[in-house]
Amino acid sequence: MCMMKISILEAKTVSKGDVSFEEIYSLGEVTEFPLTPVDKIVENVGDAEAVLCNKTPFTEDVLRACPKLKYIGLCATGYNNIDLKACRELGITVCNVPAYSTDAVAQHVFALMLHFASRVAEYDGFVKSGGWIRSDTFSNFAFPIRELSGKTLGIIGYGSIGRKTAQIANAFGMNVIVSTRTPKQDDTVKFTDMETLFSKSDFISVHCPLTEATKELVGRDMLKLCKESCVIVNTSRGPVIDEEALAEALNSGRIAGAALDVLCTEPMLESCPLIGAKNCIITPHVAWAPLETRERLVKVVAENLRAYINGAPINTVTE
């Protein structure tokens, strides 16, 4: 029996050697690449019938240059790097991994929010630099801190991660308002319009997908509506925020802070306007990356591929 040829194009983006691809190797003849530069995509796909990728861009030209390709398995939920129209025309099945990182990303949202609320890193630095030793009081209020309880959290987008974020916020005693194109029945939050969300929120957490409608949604006009005490958190997609406008808002004191796990260009460019911006913390797209989360991801990627091989694909992307 001839085994399916499978190319893993970006192994390094999923595992640093701590997550096994053994289950995928059991499904066919696998060629594994740590990373795949844009100019090497066609070469690395080769004569594979199935590829597993994360951010590799599959444009129409690339897809047409890979005539044996019949399956693209995304090691991710998002699929804006795939030309779905061309895939449909060429009979290529695309499958993603929905909701695998919900708990991890929501956890990271609150790690970022608590950075501003509790100032743990700054207080740790204060103590390590001898500040507490020199203190004349047992409790030194070197940095202002505040409670999350009673504050208003505005959530943009209300998919699985937005809903999990709301649940955690409710546990903290926060008031949750939500702006989404598809309001759901949920008595634990209040649905509102975007302008109200920006003007009323103490914290804003972005969870919408990147589309033409959401690109630079967080821009100058919306930022002008914010309270000066507002902190913006983004764990969705970088281009949802206008980085120039956000840097201006931070540096001018228009808003109190920003915490970002995603940027418009990744890895970060030296020219990114947010480098050195006031009260801006950035993590390198790791909200989804706990070990347990990546193990869950690879398990579903393997399940998706197995289902396709068996003639009953699951988690297919069609829109």
Catalytic residues: 237, 266, 285
Helix axes 120-128 and 102-118, enclosed angle (nearest 10) = 50
Return the SS3 of 46. Answer: coil
Q: Residues 234, 241: contact at Cβ < 8 Å? A: yes
Phi, psi angle pair for 45, to nearest 5°: -65, -45
Which DSSP symbol is given to 239?
Answer: G
Helix axes 160-171 and 102-118, enclosed angle (nearest 10) = 40
Phi, psi angle pair for 191, to nearest 5°: -85, 140
Tokens read off for 169: 């916020």
For residue 116, which of 84, 144, 153, 140 has the smallest C-alpha distance?
A: 144
Sequence-distant (6+) residues with CB within 8 A of 317 are 74, 79, 82, 84, 94, 95, 96
Q: What are the helix and strand counts (H, E) for the chain?
A: 11, 12
Q: Residues 60, 87: contact at Cβ < 8 Å? A: no
Round to whole Å and give the CA distance between 246 and 134: 37
